Amino acid sequence: MTITVSDPTIWSARILAHLDKTFVYGAAFTNRNYQGEITDAGSTVRILQVSDVTVSDYTGTLAAPENLNDTALDLVIDQRKSFNFIVDDVDARRSILMLVDEGSKRAAQGMSDVRDRHVASFHSAVDATNAVGTDAAPVTIGFAAGETRPYDAFLDLTQKLDEANVPNPDRRIVLPPWFVRALKTQFGDRASSLGDNITQNGMAGNVDGVTVYQSNNVPSVGGAKFKVLAGVPEITFADAIVKTETLRAQSSFGTLVRGLHVYGAKMTQPRAFAVGTFNKGQLSK
């Protein structure tokens, strides 16, 4: 099949191929269990959860059976984002493949950044008992007197997960670049799997079995109090590009490419996460 700059199917496929590559919070904390059930903006997916089962002593007679109760959470596809750009005819003749690919990357990167920040905002949904520091009393990370060393803050977060009975396998944490640097400074020459190269989806390595991701989208309050999220992938996320169009521009010789991207997310287990409110202190020893 000949690739043309005016084929919306080609654009949609290329954008989808690039969309997840910079979705750091998505890679760290989301699952796609209900991905196939959305149709358009405003769709609602019902997520059913079953209550715990009571375990009792057996004395020769079984207790009366209990009913299983279910609770329902709504995953609402409430986010709508659009993209709209133009491919000049002169440029298109030079390299259609390059323009399709590069234009798709730019559109996907912009959308990924927006939805990344949306998932990052779920720090506010974490159970209050799993918090380290607060807006009123943030923990200052650094090596000066009175400051908390980064690895100690890391352990405070994993302790919160331990106390909430969050399973050890598949734990993740997303840190701002300055926190990753502080960890490396503290570890010094000691063995650590925190790599020097950040992979495309933000993965920076592993500490104590916890996969470490790095992102510039870690939320901050007033640019000073960073909300660091740790936990397992218990944010259900679903998205779709529901429309891609190509049409001729009216005021110039070129092809317009535009589309509609919809998505929604829901934290299904607030106790499966811990959140730290951290200030940046003296990062050098």
- Please provide the CATH number assigned to the domain covering 128-234+271-280: 3.30.2320.40
Average the pLDDT over 126-149 and give the result: 95
Residue 235 has pLDDT above 90, yes or no: yes
Cβ contact 85:256 at 8 Å: yes
| Domain boundaries of the chain, sorted by first residue | 8-49+69-121+235-268, 128-234+271-280
Residue 284 has pLDDT above 90, yes or no: no
* Residues forming a β-bridge with 48: 72
Q: What is the DSSP string of 37-91?
A: G--STT-EEEEEEEPP------SSSPPPPPPPPEEEEEEE--EEEEEEEEEEHHH
- Band of pLDDT at residue 141, cut at 50, 70 and 90: very high
Average the pLDDT over 120-145 and give the result: 95
The mean pLDDT of the chain is 84
* Residues forming a β-bridge with 243: 260
Cβ contact 49:268 at 8 Å: yes
* Cα–Cα nearest to 150, from 191, 190, 178: 178
SS3 for 131? strand
* Choice between 192 and 80, residue whose per-residue pLDDT is larger: 80
Q: How far, in Å, CA of 267 to CA of 103, rounded?
A: 32
Average the pLDDT over 194-207 and give the result: 65
Q: What is the pLDDT of residue 1?
A: 41
pTM: 0.81
SS3 for 198? coil
pLDDT by residue (tens digit) across 241-267? 888 888 888 888 888 888 888 899 999
